[in-house]
Amino acid sequence: MTLSETPVPASTPRTRAKARHILDNYFIGPARDASVLEIWGYTDRMTYAPGDRLALRVSTTAEHWDLEIGRDGARYEPLHSDTGIAGMHQVTPEDCSVAGCGWDVSYEFTIPDDWREGGYLVSMTAERDGDQVEEHHLFLLRRADDKPPAPYVLICATGTWLAYNCWGGSNHYEGITGPDRNAFSPVVSTQRPWTRGFCKLPEGAPRAVPDTPHKPGTMVRYPYMEWAYAYGYSKKYASAGWASYERHFAVWAEEQGFEFDFATQHDLEADPELLKRYKCAVFVGHDEYWSANMRDAVDRYTASGGRVARFGGNFLWQTRIEDEGRTQICYKYTAEQDPLVGSDQEHLVTTAWEVAPANRPGAQTFGVNGLKGVYTGLGRCVGQGSGGFTVYRPDHWALTGTQLGYGDQLGAASRIFGYEVDGVDYRMEDGLPFATGADGADPALEIVAMGLATNIEPTHGVWGETAYIADADAQFKARALFGEVTPETLDRSSRGNGAIVHWHRGEGEVFTAGTCEWVMGLTRRDWQVEQVTCNVLVRFGVSGRAR
Ligand SMILES: [Fe+2]
């Protein structure tokens, strides 16, 4: 060591204790320091059509940057690139997560007419003094209106992407808003980059549900948060985004030859009649946040004969979309602060669907809801569960060809059951679950398979461990369902389930496999999960009523 070098402080138990914990709030965002090499970008819209002008807003501290746009399908296809684009270091307001970045357009491009529908990855790279950074953005490309529609449309869960996007500091969970700069934001903007890991992830990035069940006697761990912290990705990368969820489905469906068009929930908000073009609408992954308009669009669609396949979980919060789609509102646990409280629009207050003044049970749309379900396979929350659904009605058409019998596990090998699941209120009779209808579900719906979930992470006193999920969710549920939090209501609010259900809704049909991780059954080639998915898509798409 030479004397001019500054010694690095040693890591001791005392100094380490001051370091941030993987469970703390940390976020991705601009350094606001020209000496730090960085590049970030976003587009005004989430969806484009061939022929549209795409305007990319990029901020970089490098003098020049390079761009590649490619279709992120079964095989990645690079389709457009440019190099040596002049860099601009743009001013990012402190409240960018809430009000948007307001950056100038740095690159414009007309999307060629022959680009196919799908997810398009925008890769931006910059170099300085031998150092290189690479960040990503993503947009969906829909079919041109003059092409015949695909039988299926995948509606990406952009309400949930936005809710979890930590870029700039704040999302619907944690944040830097409020007088102490430590509060979540009930208002989030689309006009900012997606956080690291939402658009592209390396192979092997851990899922929220670990690959193996929790080993008793060992400390509880959350490998995805450890990985995110270690490699500089968003703490929420495994919770939302194209790379963690929709992409897995899109790739599998393309490989199987199912013809899909692509849209976002925000497209549903702007164009409620969009679904009419398709025989079947598909929702996958972590799909937690919906506006009333988005729900209305799905309800009208099924009422008039549309088929809905939901291989996703956590249908919970009502949102509002404002400012022509640029702003999403969700007050959640602080819904009493929603400005619509006491107004003639009180039914649009952003709280859980089942709770006053929303009072619109989620089960009426999808047969299951988030309040009856929630954590499983996450940390100690059913951490020693099988990872699959228990089959109750093996003769249901959706299980044709799966070789599954009563009591068998569906998807345990591929760990599809978690990390948040949607449940149904049920009673058992002669070894079979029946919907009670108490939660708004149609009592005629069939429960094909089920598993257990919890709202409170148990602790077993293993030395050295810190649990992630305390009882905040159970407290909310206790207040919502029983009006008060007592040891008894907390206990009654702690238990949930995740279910696979099917029923006829109006002229249409709904199939829901209420779990975020269903897509892992496809990517991991769990043939029984693939068979169920095919059974549903074939019935809903091929034999579906022409629309
Ligand atoms: Fe969630």
pLDDT single digits (tens) 300-344: 999 999 999 999 999 999 999 999 999 999 999 999 999 999 999
Question: 19 falls in which pLDDT band (50, 70, 90)?
Answer: low
Mean pLDDT of 393-405: 98
Distance 362 CA to ligand 1 centre (A): 15
Is the pLDDT assigned to residue 2 strictly greater than 70?
no
Distance 65 CA to ligand 1 centre (A): 36
For residues 511 and 309, the answer to whether their CB atoms sit within 8 Å is yes
Distance 440 CA to ligand 1 centre (A): 21
pLDDT digits (tens, 9 = 90+) for 139-164: 999 999 889 999 999 999 999 999 99
For residues 370 and 314, the answer to whether their CB atoms sit within 8 Å is yes
Mean pLDDT of 462-467: 88
Sorted by sequence, the CB contacts under 8 Å of residue 147 that are 6+ apart come out as none
Distance 361 CA to ligand 1 centre (A): 17
Distance 261 CA to ligand 1 centre (A): 26
Secondary structure of 476-506 in HEC code, one letter for each residue? HHHHHHHCCCCHHHHHHCCEEEEEEEEEEEC
pLDDT digits (tens, 9 = 90+) for 45-104: 999 999 999 999 999 999 999 999 999 999 999 999 999 999 999 999 999 999 999 999
Distance 15 CA to ligand 1 centre (A): 34
> Would you state the torsion angle of the CA atoms of residues 114, 120, 123, 124, taken in this order, to the nearest 10 degrees?
80
123-144 burial: b if 16+ Cβ within 10 Å, else e: bbbbbbeeeebebbbbbbbbbe
Distance 453 CA to ligand 1 centre (A): 13
For residues 220 and 379, the answer to whether their CB atoms sit within 8 Å is yes
Distance 288 CA to ligand 1 centre (A): 6
Please tell me the distance from the alpha carbon of residue 156 to that of residue 435, in angstroms, as a whole number.
28
Please tell me the distance from the alpha carbon of residue 367 to that of residue 360, in angstroms, as a whole number.
13
Residue 14, pLDDT score: 59
Distance 210 CA to ligand 1 centre (A): 17
Distance 173 CA to ligand 1 centre (A): 10
SS3 content of the chain, % helix, strand, coil (to 5): 20, 30, 50
Distance 86 CA to ligand 1 centre (A): 40
In Å, the largest CA–CA distance within the chain is 80
Distance 375 CA to ligand 1 centre (A): 9
Tokens 């947009």 correspond to 139
Distance 516 CA to ligand 1 centre (A): 9
Sorted by sequence, the CB contacts under 8 Å of residue 10 that are 6+ apart come out as none
Beta strands in 430-542 (DSSP E): 432-435, 446-454, 495-505, 508-513
Residue 16, pLDDT score: 53
Residue 544, pLDDT score: 42
Determine the Cα angle at 419 with ends 414 and 423, to 5°: 105
pTM given for the model: 0.96
Structure tokens at 441: 């579900």
Distance 186 CA to ligand 1 centre (A): 15
